[in-house]
Amino acid sequence: LKHANNDPNLAMSLIAVCGHDDVAQGTYYWLDDSLKAKEEVQFKLKYLNKDIDSVKSQLSGSPSNNPKTKYLMQELTVLADQKAKIQEQNGIKEEMYCPSGDSKTYLPQSLGQGVDIPDELKAKITNLQAPTKGAAYLPAKHYHVYGSAFMACQLIQEGVLPEIATILQKNAARFYRGIRMCKATKDLLTDRNELLGWYDKYIKDFKPVVEKKNTKRGLRTTTSKPYGVESYIFNEALRLAKSGECIPPQPPEETEFIRIKKSNYNSNISTEAYKEHKRKMLLWNKNYRDKCNFLRDFIGVSLADSDLNEEIIRTKTSMSYEKMNAAYLYQKWYIGGGELLDLNLPCTDYRLFGPSSLVKKKRPQRANHTENCISGFSARECQKAKERLATWDVDFEWTINQHEVGAEFAAKMCKKNEKRMTSLEQLACASQNSLNKDKKAKSSNKVR
């Protein structure tokens, strides 16, 4: 408010300019086309013309075969380019520098005391998304609050009723989260289909191994069984990591002789070593590249990483598999994500099917052990998927509440702009003009 000359509309716009703790997204440029800025452009041109005249003067008396002449010609070209660019300017490009990412600006309640989501919701989010690590592990995502405050303020300035602006912001949050959800579940379902295709082939090719062992009770026969889907993915990733098959063939080192010939003749030198490397690379691309890249993207770590260990692969695989199953349940149980009259419908947090509670942990009866929500998957896998769904549901609730809090703050602070000025430039100029008038009036009173 201090910098905005007590104009809440302008203050909200200034907050929105730096409204993201990802500072790269908070960089704001604008063209200062004020009279002062235009005078500064002319000032730059004036001194640039002097530099150009000075170089031309030196060139006029410099012989063409003089090494200095070549340097002066290059300098003149650079100066001419600078002049052409400045002549195109109708002002000066300015940049607003936002607070660093660890600034208090981005913390909850930075807009004011109590401008935050309820403590009960924070506890719910923590219990679902960070049950063992605690609230400190989760990002505040407070930019949703002041982002909504800014957008609601813009609506109110345009004449939208504050309570309607709040409703619009809550719906905007649901649509935003729905779009994100659709993208995430679509990608996960694509991965699921790919992996189940691998698994089907594994089951088809699986040959049981029969082992006979002598025990105290006599000869015992055991027959190996195929892995479940998650164990198959884990063991396949572990096998590729241990075998080094995800590390592409390395090119042979160039000899000094080849480097000299390349530099002298600028030609590609084909040697037996390079031909062999090309052959190995084609073979690796055919047999391993796609699978290694797919698993890298799916579990989130490169299987070519030398620091990789079994525990990391197991944890990453389990988490990715859980998300994959959750996406399948989401597709089956929730409204949205399809098409209607050739229009893509956003995903929602409205669930039509499934259990009354996603986080209820009931031990299934032995007789019903195979009756799970995902055909062919265990009760444990099903429960993990449902718990993951619960974290996605609370993401909707979290974002919607943040938008509501921000919009309600704007409803208290912002007002309708009778002059229909909503852009930062318009508001800033109007505020500056008002400030200049006040200063002029005070100065006039002093003279009297």
Nearest to 236 by CA among 322, 314, 328: 314
pLDDT of residue 369: 43
Higher-confidence position of 353 and 222: 353
Nearest to 384 by CA among 359, 408, 405: 359
Nearest to 402 by CA among 181, 185, 135, 172: 172
Domain count across the chain: 1
Helix (H) or strand (E) holding 213: strand 210-215
From its phi and psi, is residue 300 left (phi > 0), alpha (psi between -120 and 50) or beta? left
In a domain, 290, yes or no: no
* pLDDT per position as a tens digit, 52-107: 999 888 888 778 777 788 888 888 899 999 888 888 888 888 777 777 777 888 88
In a domain, 364, yes or no: no
* pLDDT per position as a tens digit, 359-413: 865 555 444 444 457 777 788 888 999 999 999 999 999 999 999 999 999 999 9
In a domain, 34, yes or no: yes
Query: pLDDT at residue 431 above 90?
Result: no
Query: pLDDT at residue 164 above 90?
Result: yes
Measure the CA–CA gap between 210 and 223, rounded to whole angstroms.
4
pLDDT of residue 196: 93
Between the CA atoms of 206, 212, 213 and 217, what dihedral angle is there, to the nearest 10 degrees? 120
Confidence of residue 349 (pLDDT cuts 50, 70, 90): very high
Range of the domain at 84: 28-96
Confidence of residue 193 (pLDDT cuts 50, 70, 90): very high
Contact by Cβ (8 Å): 333, 347? no
Contact by Cβ (8 Å): 168, 185? no
Confidence of residue 422 (pLDDT cuts 50, 70, 90): low
pLDDT of residue 368: 45
In a domain, 416, yes or no: no
**pTM for the structure as a whole:** 0.73
Work out the number of other CB atoms within 10 angstroms of the CB of residue 341: 5
* pLDDT per position as a tens digit, 312-341: 999 999 999 999 999 999 999 998 877 777
Query: pLDDT at residue 220 above 50?
Result: yes
Measure the CA–CA gap between 401 and 337, rounded to whole angstroms.
22
Query: pLDDT at residue 27 above 70?
Result: no
- Mean of the pLDDT values across residues 123-142? 90
pLDDT of residue 436: 54
Query: pLDDT at residue 304 above 60?
Result: yes
* pLDDT per position as a tens digit, 235-280: 999 999 999 999 998 877 755 555 555 555 544 555 677 788 889 9
- Mean of the pLDDT values across residues 282-302? 93
229-243 and 310-333 are packed helices; what angle lies between their axes, rounded to 10 degrees? 140
In a domain, 32, yes or no: yes
In a domain, 71, yes or no: yes
Query: Max alpha carbon distance in the chain (Å)?
Result: 118
In a domain, 86, yes or no: yes
pLDDT of residue 371: 47
- Quote the mean pLDDT of the chain: 83
pLDDT of residue 392: 96
In a domain, 132, yes or no: no
Contact by Cβ (8 Å): 233, 317? yes
Measure the CA–CA gap between 124 and 137, rounded to whole angstroms.
14
